[in-house]
Amino acid sequence: MTVPTPIPAALEKIVQRFARVTDPKRKYEQLIFYAKKVAAMPDEDKIDENKVMGCVSQVFITAKLDDGKVLFSGDSDAQLVKGLVGFLLEGLSGLTPNEIIKLKPDFIKDTGLDMSLTPSRANGFYNIFKLMQQKAIGLE
The residues that are catalytic are: 55
Nearest to 79 by CA among 130, 31, 137, 135: 31
- Helix residue ranges, H only, 9-64: 9-19, 24-37
Report the C-alpha gap between 108 and 122 in whole angstroms: 9
